[in-house]
């Protein structure tokens, strides 16, 4: 009898100790609301508290692992915190919505989560899974103003809109006018700010222009025009130098004009520009720059074009 009593006491003690030990994981799932309408949003939260030395595979609760019928997962986020008792608490939140009208209830399937026990000095990747737990399923009721049991649903009303009352119709014109009035001062102020902030480039003096042209001409005269590529480069530089000179003398932006257009624009000029020489030289430059390799002018012709460019810069005409 004493042996039986001692055995029962031992069994009772072991059972009490087992009941007193906390579980490895504490799982809770909740919904921000138990029902929703079309396009409503509901937050589905899974909270898992892990005891010291226990952790879960968070990938098991990723967005693509959640199986839901009738709802769409718009977004998800994960939070991880460690308490003073070395408990790790995970919070997985999913933002759900629905655009279905044919289901009376929306369901979220159970999710299986694996967990493992970590040992001191052991890496997470070396820990063997200790077991699995399951997050229970959830059900969300669907609410709709549409009658049940229909084969199709006419979401949009086919009736025409009723005309607005006269006292409201004129408000649109007034509102557009006020918007325009508010935009104009703002645009004017913005333009003034841009003008003040835009750096003003100081114009070059006539002496500086002549100095730059002289340096460019000396660089041209030092070019090697024995190759086709060298002659193309020389004609390109002559073209740019003559056009810049015409702009400096007359103020005409000749960078994008053809020789014929330049001739027409400067025809009434005061004569400081040898117009015929300049336009003929620009035409020769265009032909040389875009001609096939076998049609590029010779080195002597290229040297002659450089000399003609010097004559244009000096304002002297010469026969071509």
Answer yes or no: are the C-beta atoms of 82 and 88 closer than 8 Å.
yes
20-142 maps to CATH 3.40.50: no
56 to each of 47, 80, 273, how far by Cα in Å? 12, 11, 86
First to last CA, the chain: 139
Answer yes or no: are the C-beta atoms of 68 and 142 closer than 8 Å.
no
pLDDT by 10s per residue, the chain, length 320 = 433 433 443 334 334 333 333 467 889 999 998 888 888 899 999 999 988 888 888 889 998 888 988 888 999 999 999 887 888 999 999 999 988 877 778 889 999 998 888 776 666 555 666 788 889 899 888 876 666 655 665 555 566 777 777 777 778 788 888 888 888 888 888 888 877 776 666 666 777 878 888 888 888 888 888 888 888 888 888 888 888 888 887 777 777 788 888 878 777 665 667 878 888 888 888 888 888 888 888 888 888 888 888 888 887 544 33
Q: Where are the domains of the chain?
A: 20-142, 207-314
How far apart (Å, rounded) are the C-alpha atoms in residues 130 and 153? 51
pTM for this entry: 0.40
């Amino acid at each position: 009898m004493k042996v039986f009593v001692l055995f029962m006491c031992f069994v009772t003690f072991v059972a009490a100790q087992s009941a007193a030990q906390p579980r490895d994981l504490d799982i809770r799932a909740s919904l921000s609301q138990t029902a929703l309408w079309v396009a409503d949003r509901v937050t589905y939260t899974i909270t898992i508290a892990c005891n010291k030395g226990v952790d879960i595979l968070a990938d098991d609760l990723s967005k693509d692992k959640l199986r839901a019928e009738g709802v769409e997962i718009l977004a998800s986020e994960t939070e991880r915190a460690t308490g003073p008792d070395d408990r790790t608490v995970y919070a997985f939140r999913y933002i759900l919505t629905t655009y279905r009208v044919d289901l009376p209830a929306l369901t979220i399937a159970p999710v299986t989560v694996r967990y493992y026990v970590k040992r001191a000095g052991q890496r997470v990747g070396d820990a063997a899974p200790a077991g699995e737990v399951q997050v229970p399923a959830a059900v969300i009721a669907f609410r709709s103003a549409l009658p049940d049991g229909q084969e199709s649903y006419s979401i949009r009303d086919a009736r025409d809109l009723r005309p607005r009352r006269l006292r409201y119709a004129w408000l649109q014109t007034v509102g557009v006018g006020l918007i325009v009035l508010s935009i104009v001062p703002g645009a004017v102020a913005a333009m003034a700010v841009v003008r003040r902030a835009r750096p003003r480039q100081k114009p070059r003096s006539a002496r500086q222009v002549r100095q730059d042209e002289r340096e460019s001409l000396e660089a041209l005269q030092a070019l090697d025009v024995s190759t086709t590529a060298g002659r193309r480069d020389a004609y390109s530089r002559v073209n740019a130098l003559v056009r810049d000179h015409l702009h400096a003398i007359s103020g005409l932006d000749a960078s994008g004009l053809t020789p014929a257009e330049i001739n027409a624009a400067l025809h009434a000029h005061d004569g400081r520009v040898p117009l015929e020489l300049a336009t003929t030289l620009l035409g020769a430059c265009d032909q040389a720059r875009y001609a096939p390799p076998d049609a590029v002018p010779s080195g002597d012709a290229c040297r002659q074009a450089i000399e003609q460019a010097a004559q244009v810069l000096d304002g002297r005409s010469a026969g071509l």
